[in-house]
Amino acid sequence: MRKPILEPEFKPAIIELRNFENEVNKFKNKEHVVVSVERAGGYIYRREFDILPKGIDDERNIFIVERLIKCILWVVGGYKIYIAGPHYIYEKIKEFYSPNKLRDFDFHFMSTVFEKEMEVIECSYEDIPNQKSSSIPIGGHLEGRRIGFDVGGSDIKVSAVVDGKVIDSKEIVWLPKLNEDINYHYDFFYKAMKDAVDVLGGDVDAIGISAAGVIVENKPMVSSIFIKVPKENFDLVKGAYINTVHRLEKELGHKIPFEVANDGDVTALAGAIDLKDNCVLGIAMGTSEAVGYVDEHGNLTGWFSELAFMPVDFNKNAEVDEWSKDFGVGCKYFSQDAVIKLAPKAGIVLDESLTLADKLKVVQKLHEEGHEGAKQIFESIGVYLAYTIAFYAEFYKIKHLILLGRVTSNKGGEVILKVAKETLEKEFPEYRDIDIRMPSDFMRRLGQSIAAASLTENKA
């Protein structure tokens, strides 16, 4: 195993799981566990695996099952966990995923998103729900007059697109995270859309919105964009995009087909359009880790893909994420937090008065100047990535992986890409054909806006 030079104690999830499976397979009386996770629409993700016989190492069994369930939750999303297997496993998982217990954050997050209290349900092997998957056709619709709307935390990017050609694109600076008044958001969205309609000659055939956060049925159920808006206005937050489009419909006098999608999924969709291929996983390493996926049919899966909270390091002493209160999760390995975490180990002292983004810039500048420790930071992230790609491949069918975000800019991105490719080829030859790349010039310039504009059919 290749170890990250600055974090040799890293325990990749994929290696820990394979080691566990090898140990379990030594026992003829190994026990079987089936986990099904249900999300909106009655869709089910089901996974089966074996564990050690009871009494051999029950604590390790519980740890592995809990980590796998945590992974499934943040890959697909869900509010019901069904478990068939040893009763003590069910009891521990039910305890963990309860209010004020070990996975309190996950419990409340999923309950909020699905507007139903999260449940853990014990089942027999015969009664546990079977897999029920979704593949949602979305994107690739370029006919007519369209608006691509990309809602970020510091700016809104708006593109007017006619038959696949961007005729106008602009970035509008705004301060959503400092404004409590939901009308600030509503008015900003409406004005940005109305200005784009004017560019299109006074009408629009379809609108596509790329937005940060968890999106369910065009509603932002959790989003940092609305972090300052009081909880009592949550219903207005959920209707932010829907109500804005309805306001525009009243003014124009006709229905406007529209679709809201998570920004990570739109990034993956942009990659699929650019590559003219499918099975695309996009990973953005910025303030956090944002991920999106386009399946083998060129569709979205309806999965969360909130991999910032998915465990990738099974070392119990790994750094704890401040928000989720869990250790070894993706946001600490594939974001500016990873760079900052590794800086002291690389002999780099960062001014604590700097913003996180500025701390990243300091390390990037040192790397440009030839600082060996700074280079080792990006090499370590490249190693993290190789082992994590192999782990993600347990859940996603990956043909292309696109890396983007501020952490991958400049020479650092080149180092991450090179080390990840080398490590994946050596340690996981079965995945050596995965095409790992940075965004093309097309995708950087226009891909995201065209992808957002193409989200829905013109069928009004």
Indicate whether 396 pLDDT > 70: yes
| pLDDT given at position 83 | 98
What tokens were used for 158?
């708006």
Task: Determine contact, residues 89/33, Cβ cutoff 8 Å.
Answer: yes
pLDDT at 143 over 60: yes
Q: Per-residue pLDDT for 460 more than 60?
A: no
User: Tell me, what's the pLDDT at 453?
Assistant: 92
Q: pTM for the complete prediction?
A: 0.90
Max avg pLDDT among 72-86, 124-138, 156-170: 72-86
Closest CA relative to residue 310, chosen from 50, 106, 37: 106
Kindly give the pairing relationship between strand 165-173 and strand 219-222: unpaired
| Cβ atoms of residues 81 and 121 within 8 Å | yes
In the chain, % of residues over pLDDT 70: 98
Distance CA 292, CA 414 (A): 21
Query: Is pLDDT of 363 > 60?
Result: yes
Residues 6 or more apart whose Cβ sits within 8 Å of residue 311:
13, 67, 70, 71, 326, 327, 328, 329, 330
**How does DSSP classify residue 129?**
P
Mean pLDDT of 157-180: 89
218 falls in which pLDDT band (50, 70, 90)?
Answer: very high
> What's the pLDDT tens digit per position in 403-459?
988 899 889 999 999 999 999 999 999 999 999 999 876 676 667 778 899 999 886
Give the chain's domains with CATH numbers. 13-122 (3.40.140), 145-263 (3.30.420.40), 266-447 (3.30.420.40)
- pLDDT score, position 213: 84
pLDDT tier at 379, thresholds 50, 70, 90: very high
> What band does 250 get if pLDDT is binned at 50, 70 and 90?
very high
Q: Does the structure show a pLDDT above 70 at 169?
A: yes
What is the per-residue pLDDT for 152?
Answer: 79
Does the pLDDT at position 140 exceed 90? Answer: no
Q: What is the mean pLDDT of residues 61-89?
A: 98
Whether the CA torsion 19, 23, 28, 33 is positive or negative: it is: negative
* Closest by Cα among 321, 303, 297, 301 to 72: 303
pLDDT confidence of residue 446 = 62
Q: So what's the pLDDT on residue 45?
A: 98
* pLDDT classification of 303: cutoffs 50, 70, 90: very high
pLDDT band at 178, cuts 50/70/90? Answer: confident
**What per-residue confidence (pLDDT) applies to 172?**
87
Q: Which of 150-159, 242-251, 270-279 is most confident?
A: 242-251
Query: What b-and-e string marks burial along 119-151, b requiring 16 or more CB atoms within 10 Å of the CB?
Result: bbbbbeeeebbeeeeeeeebbbbbebbbbbbbb
Report CA 76 to chain centroid distance, whole Å. Answer: 10
Average pLDDT taken over every residue of the chain: 93
pLDDT at 442: 66
**439, 292 contact by CB (below 8 A):** no
Q: Is pLDDT at 154 greater than 80 in this prediction?
A: no
- Separation between Cα atoms, residue 40 and residue 281, nearest integer Å: 23
Whether 271 contacts 400, CB under 8 Å: yes
pLDDT value of residue 248: 96
Separation in Å, CA 305 to CA 77, 115, 153, 219: 8, 19, 19, 17
pLDDT of 345 reads 97
What pLDDT, on a 0 to 100 scale, did the predictor assign at position 392? 98
161 close to 451: Cβ distance less than 8 angstroms: no
- CB 15: neighbour CB atoms within 10 A? 16
36-55: per-residue pLDDT in tens?
A: 999 989 999 999 999 999 99
Residue whose pair of structure tokens reads 């800019």 in the numeric block:
409
How many percent of the chain have pLDDT more than 90? 78
Q: With 80 as the cut, is the pLDDT of residue 249 above it?
A: yes
Mean pLDDT of 296-303: 91
pLDDT of 327 reads: 98
